[in-house]
Structure 1
């Protein structure tokens, strides 16, 4: 799997697939591990202003929109929006919604509305805390499916944490009937700087993680 470093200072947000699931912490570094190359293309490798990225961002923030609303909000040409939406539909990332905003209703046939597909996949967020780990599983539509807090001893070892996180995640997926094949990406947060290769440079909260490659 590929990875990219996302670093933030102060009040920060762990970003998993363009902030589809989130955890807020102070002075935290993030490593985002992508499991779907097509999504990586839209959300990371392509310019941030790519049509697909803008549309996904728009739907993530606003929930349900018509194609004309997406065109107006993003400022993209109608033909560009149409082409991008066709690709997002084929990938299963975007689906038609039965929900209509008041502003969409009018004379004649209601406009078709679109939303991110909750079934498009799942995301995992893991935060390495002082004496605990938090593991969150969420779907693409922002809904948190399950959240676990795993008690840990002070100065816990990376190997121990990795095994416990793996077991907790496997249990969460099994209990909720989620296919592991639907995992889109994992975001890992740790207090301290992380290199572009994913190596923890130093970690004030969990010093035993210094020098560890999170990927």
Structure 2
């Protein structure tokens, strides 16, 4: 009897302890390892918002108004004529224009016809000029610029040290590469890629080269 009572007591103790150990389930908490945590939102401006937009590079073939820096001022001469160092391009400047003729040798570019430029005059299209109104092609019977040594149009060259060049049996005053002449509101610069002239007022001009002529 005593043994049975002990067994009953043991069973009761087990039942009571089992009830006491039972608890309500709690929501599980998922811990994210530090290496896998999403980055915290930055309070500083993003790098893209602080960057200055970069403009696309300009077309290198598009001429621009030459810089006046270092240009030789020839405004005291009524008209100045000059040739490219090769002698194949003749140009001129005055108070109200700048012009260049179509290259006399090796020209590979296009040019308009007489009917398009001067149908009434029936003259040849011989070059381009620029005024405050803009740049355009022109017609003439003979070259209107004559950069021949000894002429009054090349008096500007005296004392400059700029060389002459022999071309087609004539001695021509030249504007060396990387040099520029300024006559009032007009400027011309000689480069290996061609001769560029422009109006400093209208910002229009042209570039003459054997490869072609561009108006801007």
TM bucket, shorter chain? under 0.3
* TM norm structure 2: 0.21
* TM norm structure 1: 0.21
Q: Which has the larger radius of gyration?
A: 2
Which of the pair is proportionally richer in helix? Answer: 1
